[in-house]
């Protein structure tokens, strides 16, 4: 293409001469005749021949009286107010051109080396000196409408001109506000104001203008600008087009994305899925996807691909939330209204995340809408939820405020029954987010989050826990190839446990973990087919592992405070998303993480080759403030690749390893809110894990169906467990109670998803195993004789189905079915009597399973009418949880009752639970 | 409109209540069968500082829901301390007693050695006698417990000035007086003779022995009761609840006595008992403690993977007894309900003829109620006014009878007061 332009230019040059030298003088008069006629007259009266295209001359009329005037002067006058330029050649030809000026000199720098020109082909066209415009390379192959403003003159090519425009709604010819006009792919831009007008200063020449708006279809237009001028653009409205555009944009993402094992939860789509007590819950929706499960209905935390619940990094706007659950695990503590998207990395974890072995739940909250006030609210039977989006600076800044609370405490207090009256169960959570767009290049987002729970399990104990998180993120674009974000976060998790009985043992106690992180996350696209992400992060942990204080005057409890712990966790990372060929892409990442346990601290030193206990304890070594007591450093490889076998069929393989420096300790079979987090130290090593996975991804029927099969194998070292009967809370010698062993899990995940249509949903099935092994040379440090045994959440078969059916625009049905193998439990293998007391002897850990779990839920969503002028949009949700009334056992336990042992099973929801909630959007 | 709203409010409350009940009532007892029963040796071995015939119990585990009759006989048991071997002999149902009485001495390390009949050898780790500590105060107190139940609490205070005792275990023997509420002076008995070669029966009334009115019953505690003072300012046990008797407990109806034994136990024993106890105490609905096999301080000397249950401990013990009467805490209050319901019956009998004052009956199984002592005599039934127990069971006989426990306390306890009993 470049060559063509050049040859045309040389061709012209050969004809160029100084025209004026051979001027014949002409006398002629035109009285408002068409220019075509005028040219015929001139040809008649002179030897000159005109060359032009007929359609250039339409509707141009000329008037003029010329006495012995040269052809050049006549032409100058008659073409003055037309878009035509002319050139007179030596051989008596008058060449007419439309818009383009034919130069008799070449632009400066025209004779640069050819290579350079070829490289910079776009620059030639854009060069302000001269514009050799042709339907050519610069314009994309699709046909664009061209608007010409002004015409090229010898003196106007180097200038900037004012381009004004009005954007109109084509349907009703009203002005269209808030439409972005983007020039040449983002080099300049403007936004139409309320009367639809916009203006831009642009260099003379060809520009591509593109409109972008949520409510109108996009239009691309070519503008050839040689003067100040105005034009109008008419846009067609986009009817409910937003969702479809998004869907189309991601249509093939499951196949084309380089990373395997990513689950995205569509927050908006999940609103119809029936859930217990009508609470929308992104985690519960995630758990219907293969590879993500929980130990049971009331269990706290999620197990991803056979990992423990502490192995998930749960991020809300980049900040860690330690326990995003209310009331054990019945409700999620993340407000679904405030959430915009959730990405769950369960296979390949990009190198910019780290610190947990199994997965990353990356939750992003919504940015507040910046041009009008809006909100959402729901009223449920147990909780109410409200979210407001308030603009602060029009089109620039907004605030999002969300809050949710339960009224169960109020209800409990008003009950007749004495025991329930004394019970308490309350929780709430709130989110506050400020987003400010300073310019196209700088954006700031600040989020604050708090959740709180309080309840009693027995009448004499009270448990409270809270999550607190604050994050500040500054996104900056350095240029079109480099951008980055600076992120500062602070998170805190704390719980307290108070006991008030009838002895001198009353106490109040608590635990706190706090972390502050600063992270610089950069990306670079300087090289074609490469996208680099690199950065560094450093995190400071402060843990108050526990205090216990007397409660009341009578209490004889000695105040105990376990010394604070502190540590630093830092990481450097780089990853490259490299498109090797059209078919093969690789994301290769390397993360180098460091962990240092810092003083002040007293650390127990044990004799090597002996079990860690009181008798092998050599000394308690004291370390000074800030002293590096123990350091760990590991490289983490994050490798993932994708090969497109066909445009809609890909195979992905990945290898990942990860290190986790903090551990959640629990003596319960399922995680509980009063589990403590322990930092790695001199005696407790970090957990490490490797995961290999391979998956096939296929889309059918123009991406309506997505099918995937993924397999994985995971091995981890130094995962934590504890000796049976261990006491972990307020224990200064924790290392004597915990064990570190191996984990092994593997599985195959199958998912078929229908993404569009009246009927949509998905069906997932996973076969997986999750095993653990605690082997030691000392019998007291072994579990199950050092053999592999199933973990507490090992559920080989996991089937789930989620379906939505849209009956009319207002009424839709949804349904949810889950089947899982019963989880392993430890049960007695016999009874015995010691001192008149009947007791039970338990089997090896997890030798038995509770019965299989299955549950069907149904829901109906009825939307309010769709009148445009309505103040608010509302819908009702009716749902029934556990329609089949299946009494799903949650656990089996054995209680000594007056000398006899009785077996009991617990279940959380034993009967169908109907719910109704009212939702409002304004 | 207003009416409609009220309706919503009502059903809303009902629904929420329903949810709360759901959370609170999803516990049900199930039938459980042991899947992989393992027969393991169970050792219950505590020797004390009391000079007596020390006793060690050996048994075997038994299947869930079965009775405990798996005694371990034929084992060789000895305790070794300071070079002295104390041999234990099997006496009865798994109990092994020391041949010589002895008491554990301070600062001597003792260990237990067992060789079972099947040749397995076990030994314990070495244990020392714990600090001897007195029960300072044993008392009964009327309280409302944490579950809101009114009753009598038996509490203990103890103080160890040396601050070395720290781990305490309590057992108790409770003895209570039972008074038969429908005891009568008279009793029925059957006299038999032959009349015209037919055996006939005569029902006669005689005086009952006095002992059937008040009896005494002794029961042993069947719960592990442990506490620790290691987290407290002083080695002070204060108001430790050894036993709680609800106000409607039949045991406290008249006079009640408890003999409380305080064992100062080793830390190993405490941790062991605390763990196994936590496995059979009800936890929270949502989180359940991780159970598993717990190793005590006894292990197989040959095969370290061989499981054995129990702990060997050398502990100092003190005992104290208390008495109280129901009226001490509940003056002018009705007695707690008797242990069984005392319904009246007048069983039908076929009378042959009347011979003067004597009623002569055919000796048949109809008269068994007089001899089998399921019921005892209350008084004569005159039939006027008719006494109906129920429409299906019309009283026809001449004697009103009550369940034996209501009229004869020996159905429940021993008639002789125990030697320690004081009124």
Give residue A270's pLDDT: 67
Provide the number of structural domains found in chain B.
Answer: 3
Residue A6 counted as domain residue: no
Rounded to an integer, the average pLDDT of A369-388 is: 87
In a domain, B293, yes or no: no
Q: Residue B32 and residue A896: Cβ atoms within 8 Å? A: no
CATH number for A225? 2.60.40.10
A534 closest CA partner among A586, A572, A569: A572
Cα(B253)–Cα(A681) distance, integer angstroms: 60
> Are residue A91 and residue A152 in the same domain, yes or no?
no
Question: Does the beta carbon of A24 lie under 8 angstroms from any beta carbon of chain B?
Answer: no
Per-residue confidence band for A489, with pLDDT thresholds at 50, 70 and 90: very high
Could B34 and A830 be called an inter-chain contact, meaning their C-beta atoms sit closer than 8 Å? yes
Same domain? A314 vs A222: no
- Nearest CA to A604 out of A409, A792, A512, A737 is that of A737
How much is the pLDDT for B177? Answer: 93
3-state SS, one letter per residue, for chain B: CHHHHHHHHHHHHHHHHHHHHHHHCCEEECCCCCCCCCCCEEEEEEEECCCECCEEEEEECECCCCCCCCECCCCEEEEEECCEEEEEEEEECCEEEECCCECCCCCCEEEEEEECCCCCEEEECCEECCCCCCEEEEEEEEEECCCCCEEEEEEEEEECCCCCCCEEEEEEEEEEEEECCCCCCEEEEEEEEEECCEEEEEEEEEECCHHHCEEEEEEECCCCEEEECCCECCCEEEEEEEEEEECCCHHHCCEEEEEEEEEECCHHHHHHHHHHHHCCCCCCCCCCECCCCCCCCEEECCCCCCCEEEEEEEEEEEEEEEEEEHHHHCCCCCCCCCCCCCCCECCCCCEEEEECCEEEEECCHHHHHHHCCCEEEEEECCCCCCCCCECCECCCCCEEEEEHHHHCHHHCCECCCCCCCCC
- Same-domain pairing of A202 and A269: no
In terms of domains, do B221 and B152 share one?
yes
Task: Report pLDDT for A839.
Answer: 85
Ranking A213-217, B10-14, B163-167 by mean pLDDT, the lowest is B10-14
- Cross-chain CB nearest to B143 (options A408, A502, A548): A502
Looking at the fold, whether B152 and B254 belong to one and the same domain comes out as yes
**Lowest-confidence pick of A276-285, A732-741, B66-75, B134-143:** A276-285
| A614 contacts chain B (CB < 8 A) | no
pLDDT at site A22: 46
Q: Tell me, yes or no, whether B175 and B195 share the same domain.
A: no
Phi, psi of B18 (to 5 degrees): -60, -45
H-helix or E-strand spanning residue A117: helix A114-119
d(CA A848, CA A825): 5
Interatomic CA distance for residues A889 and A905, integer angstroms: 6
A603 backbone dihedrals φ, ψ, rounded to 5°: -120, 135
Using an 8 Å Cβ cutoff, are A741 and A719 in contact? yes
Give the mean model confidence (pLDDT) for residues B377-395. Answer: 59
CA distance A176 to A651: 45
In chain B, what residues touch A739 (CB-CB under 8 Å)?
none
Three-state DSSP at A394 gives: coil
Identify the closest residue of chain B to A550 by CA–CA distance. B232
For residues A173 and A117, the model is more confident at: A173
Residue A387 CA, chain-centre distance (Å), reads 20
Instruction: Assess whether A152 and A288 both reside in one domain.
Output: no
CA angle B112, B259, B278 (to 5 degrees): 60
Q: How far apart are the first and last CA of chain B?
A: 72
Does the residue B312 lie in any domain? Answer: no
Beta bridge partners of B205: B188
Instruction: Specify the higher pLDDT residue, A246 or B388.
Output: B388
Residue B193 lies in a domain: yes
A655 plus A698 within the same structural domain: yes
In sequence order, what E strands does A145-204 have?
145-149, 160-169, 174-175, 180-183, 188-191, 197-203
Q: How many CB atoms lie within 10 A of CB A415?
A: 16
Task: List pLDDT tens digits, range A176-191.
Answer: 777 888 887 777 778 8
Q: Are residues B399 and B261 in the same domain?
A: no
> Each residue of A36-68: pLDDT tens digit?
888 888 888 888 888 877 777 777 778 888 888
- The DSSP secondary structure of A58-70, one letter per residue, reads TT-EEEEEEEEEE
Boundaries of domain holding A42:
17-98
Nearest CA in chain B to A379: B12
Structure-token pair, residue A433: 């987010």
DSSP-assigned beta bridge partners for residue A496: A464, A510
Is residue B30's pLDDT more than 80?
Answer: no
Domain presence at residue A595? yes
Confidence at residue A276, expressed as pLDDT on a 0 to 100 scale: 61
Residues A172 and A316 in one domain: no
The tokens describing A27, both together, are 């006398």
For residues A97 and A51, what is the distance between their CA atoms, to the nearest angstrom? Answer: 9
* Residue B28 domain flag: no
Which range (A554-563, A630-639, A793-802, A892-901) has the least confidence? A892-901
A111 phi, psi to nearest 5 deg = -90, 45
Residue B418 lies in a domain: no
pLDDT of residue A29: 83
B154 with B166, same domain: the answer is yes
Q: Mean pLDDT over all residues of chain A? A: 82
Residue B90 lies in a domain: yes
Contact A840 B64 (CB under 8 A): yes
Most confident among A138-147, A465-474, A818-827 (mean pLDDT): A465-474
Same domain assignment for residues A546 and A424: yes
* Residue B56 shares a structural domain with residue B90: yes
pLDDT given at position B9: 30
Please report which confidence band the pLDDT of residue A866 belongs to, taking 50, 70 and 90 as the band edges: low
Residue B187 pLDDT greater than 90, yes or no: no
pLDDT of residue A105 exceeding 70, the answer is no
The answer to whether position A9 is within a domain reads: no
Domain housing B146: 135-179+216-273+317-329
pLDDT average, residue stretch B301-327? 91
- Report the half-sphere exposure of B360 (CA within 13 A, side-chain side): 12
Confidence of residue A649 (pLDDT cuts 50, 70, 90): very high
Q: Cα angle at A276 between A270 and A282, to 5 degrees?
A: 30
C-alpha span between B355 and B358 (Å, rounded)? 5
- Is the pLDDT at A577 greater than 90, yes or no? yes
- Highest mean pLDDT, choosing among A512-521, A819-828, B77-86: A512-521
| Beta carbons of A317 and A340 less than 8 angstroms apart | no
B232 contacts A557? CB cut-off 8 A: yes
Residue A643: how many CB atoms within 10 A of its CB?
15
**Are residues B167 and B266 located together in one domain of the fold?**
yes
Angle, helix A71-78 to helix A35-45, in steps of 10 degrees: 180
- From chain A, the residues in CB contact with B276 under 8 A are 725, 839
A236 pLDDT more than 90? no
Decide if B103 contacts B49 (C-beta within 8 A): yes
- A836-854 pLDDT tens trace: 788 888 878 888 888 899 9
DSSP A126-145: H-TT-----SSTTS-SS--E
Together in a domain, A73 and A221: no
- The mean pLDDT of A781-803, rounded to a whole number, is 91
CATH number at residue A58: 3.55.50.30
Residue B323: predicted pLDDT: 95
Whether A763 has a pLDDT exceeding 70, the answer reads yes
Average pLDDT over residues A692-702: 90
Is A109 part of a structural domain of the chain?
A: no
Asked if the C-beta of A36 comes within 8 angstroms of chain B's C-beta atoms, the answer is no
How far is B74 from B89, CA to CA, in rounded Å?
A: 9
- Boundary residue ending a domain (A180, A203, A235): A235
- Say whether residue A419 is in contact with chain B using an 8 A CB cutoff: yes
Q: Give the gap in angstroms from C-alpha B187 to the nearest C-alpha of chain A.
A: 36
Return residues 367-396 of A near B (CB < 8 Å): 381-382
Chain A from 680 to 699: CB within 8 A of any B CB: none
Quick one: pLDDT at residue B260?
Answer: 95
Test the B interface: residue of A725, A738, A912, A918 with most B CBs within 10 Å: A725
**What pLDDT score does A703 carry?**
80
DSSP code string of A868-896: TT-S-EEEEEEEEESTT----EEEEEEEE
Residue A853 located in a structural domain: yes
C-alpha span between A879 and A272 (Å, rounded): 9
Chain A residue with minimum CA distance to B279: A894
- Whether B3 shows a pLDDT value over 50: the answer reads no
Does residue B17 have a pLDDT over 70?
no
Please check whether residues B55 and B106 belong to one and the same domain. yes
Query: What pLDDT does A92 receive?
Result: 80
Claim to verify: residue B93 and residue B168 sit in the same structural domain: no
- In sequence order, the β-bridge partners of residue A598 are A566, A628
- Indicate yes or no: CB of A832 within 8 angstroms of CB of B309: yes
pLDDT at A7 over 80: no
Which among A745, A748, A737, A589 has a CA at the least distance from the CA of A667? A737
Of A910 and B61, more confident: B61
Candidates A551, A724, A729, A730, partner chain B, best to mutate (most B CBs within 10 A): A724
Query: Residues of B with CB below 8 A from A560's CB?
Result: 231
Q: Cβ contact (<8 Å) for A556 and B232? A: yes
Helix (H) or strand (E) holding A445: strand A442-455
CA of B117, closest CA in chain A: separation in Å?
19
Contacts of A895 in chain B (CB under 8 A): 280-282
Q: Is the predicted pLDDT of residue A280 greater than 90, yes or no?
A: no
Q: A805 and A713 share a domain?
A: yes
- Write out pLDDT tens, residues B255-298: 999 999 999 999 889 989 988 888 877 655 556 778 888 888 99
* pLDDT score of B15: 44
Residues A210 and A292 in one domain: no
CA distances from A662 to A11, A311, A568, A684 (A): 75, 9, 11, 10
Q: What percent of chain A has pLDDT over 90?
A: 34
- What is the spatial distance between Cα B420 and Cα B130, in angstroms, rounded to a whole number? 28
Q: What is the pLDDT of residue B287?
A: 63
Closest-CA residue to A258 (of A590, A636, A693, A578)? A578
Say what the pLDDT of residue A782 is. Answer: 85
Residues B262 and B321 placed together within one structural domain of the fold: yes
Neighbouring C-alpha atoms within 13 Å toward the C-beta of B237: 28
Looking at A174, A203, A235, the residue that finishes a domain is A235
Q: Looking at the structure, do residues A688 and A829 belong to the same domain, yes or no?
A: yes
Mean pLDDT for the stretch of residues A548-559: 84
pLDDT at A136 over 50: no
Q: Are residues A231 and A323 in the same domain?
A: no
Q: Are A342 and A286 in contact (CB under 8 A)?
A: yes
Tell whether B71 and B106 lie within a shared domain: yes
A728 in contact with chain B, both atoms CB, cutoff 8 A: no
Q: What is the number of structural domains in chain A?
A: 3
- Per the domain annotation, does A675 fall within a domain? yes
What percentage of chain A has pLDDT greater than the value 70? 85
What gap in Å lies between CA A397 and CA A360, rounded to an integer?
29
Task: Specify if B289 maps to a domain.
Answer: no
Is the per-residue pLDDT at A636 higher than 50? yes
Give bridge partners of residue B27 from the DSSP assignment.
Answer: A906
Does residue B386 sit within a domain? yes
Q: Are A483 and A528 in contact (CB under 8 A)?
A: no
* The predicted structure's pLDDT at residue A134: 43
Beta strand ranges found along A333-424 (DSSP E):
339-345, 359-365, 374-379, 383-393, 397-406
Mean pLDDT of the A161-180 span: 78
What is the C-alpha to C-alpha distance for residues B153 and B145, in angstroms, rounded to an integer?
9
Q: How far apart are CA A369 and CA A744, in angstroms?
A: 46
Q: Quick one: B171 and B234 in the same domain?
A: yes
- Out of A245-249, A707-711, B165-169, B236-240, least confident range: A245-249
Q: What is the pLDDT of residue A19?
A: 38
Comparison of pLDDT for A585 and A921, the residue scoring more: A585
For residue B52, the domain's CATH number is: 2.60.40
pLDDT band with cut points at 50, 70 and 90 for residue A448: very high
Residue A250: inside a domain, yes or no? no
**Per the domain annotation, does A358 fall within a domain?**
yes
pLDDT band, very low/low/confident/very high, at A274 (cuts 50, 70, 90) = low
CATH code: domain of residue A330: 2.40.170.20
Provide the pLDDT for residue A155. 65
Give the domain-ending residue among A98, A129, A159. Answer: A98
Least confident of A170-184, A645-659, A718-732: A170-184
Cβ separation B30–A903 shorter than 8 A? yes
Nearest to B209 by CA among B178, B183, B240: B183
> Containing H/E element for A283?
helix A282-286
Mean pLDDT of chain B: 82
- Cα A661 off chain centre by: 25
Q: In Å, how far is B307's CA from the nearest CA of chain A?
A: 10
């Amino acid at each position: 293409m470049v060559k063509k332009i050049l040859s045309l230019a040389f061709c012209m040059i050969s004809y160029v001469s100084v025209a004026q030298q051979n001027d014949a003088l002409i006398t002629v008069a035109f009285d408002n005749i068409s220019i075509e006629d005028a040219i015929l007259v001139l040809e008649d009266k002179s030897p000159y021949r005109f060359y032009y295209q007929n359609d250039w001359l339409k509707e141009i009329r000329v008037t003029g009286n010329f006495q012995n005037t040269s052809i050049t002067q006549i032409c100058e006058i008659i073409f003055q107010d037309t878009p035509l330029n002319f050139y007179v050649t030596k051989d008596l030809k008058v060449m007419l051109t439309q818009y383009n000026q034919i130069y008799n000199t070449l632009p400066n720098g025209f004779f640069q080396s050819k290579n350079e020109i070829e490289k910079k082909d776009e620059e030639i066209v854009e060069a302000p000196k001269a514009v050799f415009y042709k339907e050519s390379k610069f314009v994309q192959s699709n046909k664009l409408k061209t608007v010409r403003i002004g015409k090229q003159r010898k003196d106007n090519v180097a200038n900037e001109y004012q381009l004004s425009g009005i954007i109109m709604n084509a349907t009703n010819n009203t002005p269209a506000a808030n439409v972005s006009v983007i020039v040449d792919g983002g080099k300049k831009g403007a936004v139409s104001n309320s009367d639809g007008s916009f203006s831009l200063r642009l260099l003379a020449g060809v520009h591509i203008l593109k409109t972008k708006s949520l409510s109108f279809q996009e239009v691309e237009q070519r503008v050839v600008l040689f003067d100040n001028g105005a034009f109008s653009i008419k846009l067609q409205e986009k009817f409910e087009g937003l969702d479809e555009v998004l869907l189309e944009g991601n249509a093939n993402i499951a196949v084309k994305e380089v990373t395997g094992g990513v689950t995205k939860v569509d927050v908006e789509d999940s609103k119809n899925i029936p859930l217990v007590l009508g609470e929308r819950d992104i985690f519960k929706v995630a758990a219907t996807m293969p590879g993500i499960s929980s130990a049971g209905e009331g269990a706290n935390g999620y197990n991803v691909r056979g990992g423990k619940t502490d192995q998930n990094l749960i991020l809300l706007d980049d900040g860690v939330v330690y326990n995003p659950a209310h009331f054990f695990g019945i409700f999620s503590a993340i407000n679904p209204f405030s959430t915009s998207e959730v990405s769950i990395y369960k296979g390949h974890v990009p190198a910019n995340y780290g610190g947990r072995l199994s997965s990353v739940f990356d939750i992003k909250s919504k940015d507040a809408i910046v041009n009008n006030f809006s909100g959402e609210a729901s009223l449920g039977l147990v909780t109410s939820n409200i979210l407001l989006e308030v603009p602060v600076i029009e089109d620039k800044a907004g605030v999002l405020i969300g809050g949710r609370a339960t009224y169960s405490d109020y209800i409990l207090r008003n009950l007749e029954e004495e025991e329930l009256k004394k019970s308490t169960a309350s929780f709430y959570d709130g989110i506050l987010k400020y987003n400010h767009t300073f310019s196209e290049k700088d954006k700031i987002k600040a989020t604050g989050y708090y959740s709180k729970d309080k309840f009693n399990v027995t009448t004499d104990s009270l448990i409270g826990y809270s999550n607190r998180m604050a994050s500040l993120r500054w996104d900056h674009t350095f240029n079109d190839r480099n951008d980055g974000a600076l992120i500062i976060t602070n998170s805190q998790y704390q719980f307290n446990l108070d006991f008030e009985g009838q002895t001198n043992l009353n106490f109040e106690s608590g635990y706190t973990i706090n972390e502050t992180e600063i992270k610089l996350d950069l990306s670079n696209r300087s090289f074609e087919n490469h996208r680099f992400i690199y950065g560094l992060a450093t995190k400071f942990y402060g843990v108050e592992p526990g205090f216990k204080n007397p409660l009341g005057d009578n209490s004889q409890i000695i105040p105990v405070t376990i010394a604070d712990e502190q540590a630093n966790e830092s990481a450097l990372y780089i990853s490259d998303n490299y498109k090797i060929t059209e078919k093969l892409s690789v994301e290769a990442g390397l993360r180098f993480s460091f962990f240092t346990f810092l003083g002040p601290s007293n650390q127990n030193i044990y004799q090597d080759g002996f079990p860690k206990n009181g008798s092998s304890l050599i000394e308690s070594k004291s370390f000074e403030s800030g002293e590096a007591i123990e350091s760990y450093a590991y490289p983490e490889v994050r490798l993932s690749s994708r090969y497109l076998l066909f445009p809609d069929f890909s195979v992905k393989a990945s290898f990942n390893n990860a290190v986790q420096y903090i551990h959640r300790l629990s003596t319960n079979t399922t995680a509980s809110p009063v589990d403590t987090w322990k930092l790695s130290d001199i005696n407790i090593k970090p957990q490490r894990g490797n995961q290999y996975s391979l998956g096939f991804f296929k889309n059918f029927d123009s991406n309506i169906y997505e099918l995937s099969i993924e397999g994985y194998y995971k091995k981890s070292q130094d995962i934590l467990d504890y000796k049976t009967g261990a006491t972990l809370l307020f224990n200064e010698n924790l290392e004597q109670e915990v064990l570190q062993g191996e984990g092994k899990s593997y599985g195959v995940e199958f998912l078929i998803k229908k993404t569009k249509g009246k009927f949509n949903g998905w069906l997932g099935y996973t076969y997986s195993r999750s095993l653990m092994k605690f082997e030691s040379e000392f019998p007291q440090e072994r579990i199950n004789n050092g053999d592999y045994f199933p973990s507490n959440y090992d559920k080989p078969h996991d089937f789930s189905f989620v379906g939505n059916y849209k009956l009319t625009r207002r009424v839709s049905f949804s349904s949810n079915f889950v089947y899982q193998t019963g989880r392993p439990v430890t049960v007695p293998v016999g009874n015995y009597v010691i001192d008149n007391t009947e007791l039970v002897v338990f089997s090896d850990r997890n030798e038995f399973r509770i019965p299989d779990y299955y549950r069907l839920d149904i829901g109906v969503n009825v939307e309010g009418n769709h009148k445009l002028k309505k103040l608010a949009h509302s819908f009702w949700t009716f749902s029934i949880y556990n329609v089949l009334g299946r009494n799903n056992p949650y656990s089996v336990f054995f209680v000594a009752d007056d000398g006899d042992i009785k077996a009991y099973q617990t279940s959380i929801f034993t009967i169908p639970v109907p719910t109704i909630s009212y939702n409002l959007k304004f | 409109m207003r009416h409609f709203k009220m309706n919503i409010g009502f059903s809303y409350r009902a629904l929420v209540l329903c949810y709360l009940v759901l959370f609170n009532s999803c516990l049900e007892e199930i039938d459980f069968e042991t899947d992989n029963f393992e027969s393991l040796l169970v050792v219950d071995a505590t020797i004390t500082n009391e000079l007596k015939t020390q006793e060690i119990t050996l048994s075997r585990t038994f299947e869930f829901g079965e009775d405990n009759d798996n005694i371990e006989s034929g084992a060789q048991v000895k305790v070794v301390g300071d070079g002295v071997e104390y041999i234990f002999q099997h006496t009865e149902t798994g109990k092994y007693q020391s041949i010589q009485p002895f008491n554990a001495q301070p600062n001597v390390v003792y260990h237990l050695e067992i060789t079972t009949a099947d040749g397995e050898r076990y030994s314990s780790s070495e244990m020392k006698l714990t600090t001897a500590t007195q029960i300072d105060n044993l008392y009964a107190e009327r309280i409302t417990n944490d579950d809101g139940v009114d009753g009598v609490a038996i509490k203990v205070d103890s103080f160890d000035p040396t601050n070395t005792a720290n781990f305490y275990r309590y057992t108790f023997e409770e003895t209570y007086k039972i008074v038969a509420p429908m005891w009568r002076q008279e009793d029925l008995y059957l006299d038999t003779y032959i009349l015209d070669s037919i055996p006939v029966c005569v029902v006669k009334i005689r005086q009952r022995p006095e002992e059937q009115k008040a009896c005494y019953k002794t029961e042993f505690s069947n719960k592990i009761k442990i506490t620790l003072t290691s987290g407290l300012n002083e080695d002070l046990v204060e108001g430790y609840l050894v036993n709680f008797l609800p106000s409607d407990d039949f045991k406290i109806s008249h006079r009640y006595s408890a003999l409380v034994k305080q064992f100062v136990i080793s830390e190993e024993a405490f941790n062991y008992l605390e763990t196994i106890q936590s496995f059979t105490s009800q936890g929270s609905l949502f989180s359940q403690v991780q159970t598993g096999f717990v190793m005590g301080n006894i292990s197989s000397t040959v095969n370290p993977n061989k499981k054995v249950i129990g702990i060997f401990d050398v502990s100092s013990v003190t005992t104290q007894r208390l008495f109280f009467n129901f009226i001490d805490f509940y003056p002018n209050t009705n007695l707690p309900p008797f242990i069984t319901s005392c319904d009246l019956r007048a069983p039908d009998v076929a009378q042959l003829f009347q011979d003067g004052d004597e009623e002569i009956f055919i000796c048949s199984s109809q008269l068994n109620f007089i001899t089998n002592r399921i019921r005892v005599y209350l008084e004569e039934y005159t039939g006027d006014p008719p006494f109906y127990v129920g429409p299906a069971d019309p009283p026809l006989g001449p004697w009103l009878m009550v369940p034996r426990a209501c009229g004869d306390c020996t159905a429940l306890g021993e008639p002789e007061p125990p030697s320690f009993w004081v009124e």
